[in-house]
Amino acid sequence: MKVVVGLGNVGDKYKNTRHNVGFILLDKLAAIYNLQFSISKKLHSEIAQKDKLILSKPLTMMNNSGGSVKSLATYYMLLSTDLYIVHDDLDIKLGEYKIQKGKGPKVHKGINSIEKALGTDDFWRVRVGVDNRDSNNRTPGEQYVLQDFTSEEKEILDKVLDETCKKLATL
C-alpha cells in the first residue's frame, strides 16, 4: 500500500500558493490515475483511492496536518514505508525535488505537526522546492510561501511535478 498525503491549506485563497504544492501535486496524480476526491469526515481528508494507492489532502490547515495523518495511519494500519508526505520546501530551489526518509526542511510546521502526532520522523518526505527568491530581497519564508506562484514559476513547477509524479509511480 502507498499513501500519498499532500500538504496545503484549505480554501480558494491558498489554492495557487507555494504552500499548497502538496495539494497541487495530488491533483496532478489524481488526473494521471483518473481518480476523484471525496470527503472523508472520519479521516479529516479528501481521499482518492485506486487499488493500493491512496491520495489524501487533509481538511485542516497546513500547520495542523498531524491529526489527519494520524487518522490515516491508524485507519489503514500504515507502516512508515507506506507513507509519503508531499510538501513545499524553502531549503530547495524551485524546479528541484527530493524524496527522502526521515529528512526534512529546517523549519516546516506542517511536518512538525505530523512528527508530533505520529511520534516519529520515520516516514517518506517528497520535498518540492519552492524557493525562487532574489538573494538581495529575501521575503521572510512565512510570507513567501503564502504568495501565489508567478506564471513563469508555474511553468517550472509543472515540469518538476511531472518528474515527481513519474518518480512516485516507480516507488
Catalytic positions are 19
Task: Name every residue whose Cβ is closer than 8 Å to that of residue 156 and which is 6 or more positions away in sequence.
Answer: 94, 95, 132
C-alpha cell at 164: 515527481
If phi over 0 gives left and psi between -120 and 50 gives alpha, with beta otherwise, what is residue 139? beta
The amino acid at residue 156 is I
φ/ψ of 17, rounded to 5, equals -85, 160
Task: Name every residue whose Cβ is closer than 8 Å to that of residue 154 and which is 6 or more positions away in sequence.
Answer: 16
| Contact criterion met (CB below 8 Å) for 26 and 86 | yes
